[in-house]
Amino acid sequence: MNATTVAVDCPVCGADAIDPYAVENGFELVRCGGCGLLYVTPRPDPVATAVAHQYGLHEGDTTLAVTGRYRPDRVRPYLRILRDVHGASLPPTCRRWLDIGCGHGEFLTALGRFAGDDVSLIGLEPNVTKARGCAARGLDVRSVGLEEVDGNFSTISLLNVFSHLQDPTEFIAGCVARLDPGGELLLETGDTADLAAVDHPRPLFLPDHLLFANERIVHRVLTEAGLQVLSVHHYSAASAVPVQVIRECQRAVQRGDVPPVLAATRRWVRERRRRIDMYIRARRPD
Ligand SMILES: [Zn+2]
């Protein structure tokens, strides 16, 4: 491993009591004895992490490549979630929405359809390849930090961002400071910190992921940042179409093995039943 690592106490509650939880890719995930957060310690230093996010390459025993590609099939599920969270439409006070860590822009695309032309949409994405792809699809996406974007926002969304944060309390406070009075935060992350290690979705993607939370922990971080939680929506992390079954069977066939149709289907059915993905809508008081 090339990167310098630093040992840290719990990034949510500061406790230093830990139980070993899992080891992956040369990194250790521990459970906090104070709040139950799962977090990586020692972890790559902040400079190494910033460079890793820029290029989508995370150094471990093997280098983890996480850039991926644009997935148009994600737009429709996002639209459904927006309807669950907001009903038929966004509140009329919503004029400017910032999506931090917008990836390939699927959520911004869904938002564009849901919100219409009256809401200005901006995305921030540190991965330069992803940001370039978004710009090519006509989205306003920039590879800069929040401090380099002017003005405040009606809503800030953070999808699959929380688990990458080094200091969630400080980061969320920074977002709240940029919300209009009455503005909202929409945060998506896994609700997995209470799972036994054997039941946790794998791979963990360490050290791209630095922590795994649950509803109680995220509620605590949001409340401590001065937000009021409005609603929590739980979803299955597995897709409605058994894509993982098809992929597992295809890989087996490529290796010359018998496709594990039954076992792969059982795993998918079990995953569909678990509601371990959550969206939390919170509001900054007026
Ligand atoms: Zn803790």
* Pair 128, 49 in one domain: no
**pTM, two decimal places:** 0.91
CA 85 – ligand 1 centroid, Å = 29
Span from the CA of 20 to the centroid of ligand 1 (angstroms): 14
Contact status, residue 149 vs residue 124, Cβ threshold 8 Å: yes
256 CA → ligand 1 middle, Å: 46
Q: Is residue 51 part of a domain?
A: yes
> Is 49 in the same domain as 146?
no
Q: How far apart, in whole angstroms, are the C-alpha atoms of residue 119 and residue 134? A: 18
Nearest CA-CA partner of 236 in 260, 204, 269, 258: 269
Q: Tell me, what CATH number does 164's domain have?
A: 3.40.50.150
Distance 230 CA to ligand 1 centre (A): 24
In-domain check, residue 176: yes
> In angstroms, what is the span from residue 122 Cα to ligand 1's centroid?
33
Q: How far apart, in whole angstroms, are the C-alpha atoms of residue 129 and residue 103?
A: 9
175 and 87 in a common domain: yes
Nearest-angstrom CA–CA distance, 249 and 241: 14
Distance in angstroms (rounded) separating the CA atoms of residues 58 and 44: 9
Count of domains forming the chain? 2
Quote the ligand 1 centre to 62 CA distance (angstroms).
28
> Do 148 and 56 share a domain, yes or no?
no
Taking each helix axis from N to C terminus, what angle separates 106-115 and 75-86, rounded to the nearest 10 degrees?
50
* Statement to judge: residues 215 and 83 lie in one domain: yes
| Ligand 1 centre distance from Cα of residue 42 (Å) | 15
Between the CA of 73 and the centroid of ligand 1 the distance, in Å, is 36
The CA 275 to ligand 1 mean position distance, Å, reads: 23
Residues 233 and 73: their CA atoms lie apart, in Å, by 21
pLDDT attached to residue 147:
94
Tokens describing residue 187: 């945060």
Going by pLDDT thresholds of 50, 70 and 90, the confidence category of residue 262 is very high
- Choose between 105 and 271: higher pLDDT: 105
Q: 264 in a domain, yes or no? A: no
Give the distance (Å) from ligand 1 centre to CA of residue 10.
5
Average pLDDT over residues 27-50: 93
Is residue 81 domain-resident?
yes
Q: Does some domain include residue 245? A: no
Are 142 and 182 within one domain?
yes
- Domain hosting residue 182, numbered range: 72-237+277-283
d(CA 169, CA 131): 26
Parallel, antiparallel, or unpaired for β 96-100 and 153-159?
parallel
Least confident of 13-27, 30-44, 49-63, 221-235: 49-63
> How crowded is residue 243: how many other Cβ atoms within 10 Å of its Cβ?
12
Task: Confirm whether 249 is domain-assigned.
Answer: no
Count of C-beta atoms within a 10 Å radius of residue 79: 16
How far, in Å, from the CA of 11 to the mean position of ligand 1? 7
Rounded to 5°, the CA angle 93-139-160 comes to 75
Residue 55 lies in a domain: yes
Between the CA of 39 and the centroid of ligand 1 the distance, in Å, is: 9
pLDDT per residue over 85-119, tens digit each? 999 999 999 999 999 999 999 999 999 999 988 89
Confidence of residue 206 (pLDDT cuts 50, 70, 90): very high
C-alpha 210 – ligand 1 centre gap (Å): 13
Look up residue 168 and give its two tokens. Answer: 């969630």
Q: Please check whether residue 253 lies inside any domain of the structure.
A: no
SS3 label, residue 185: strand
Give, as one character, the DSSP assignment of residue 53.
H
Task: Give me ligand 1 centre to Cα 106, in Å.
Answer: 32
- For residues 96 and 140, is the Cβ–Cβ distance under 8 A? no
Output the pLDDT for position 16.
94
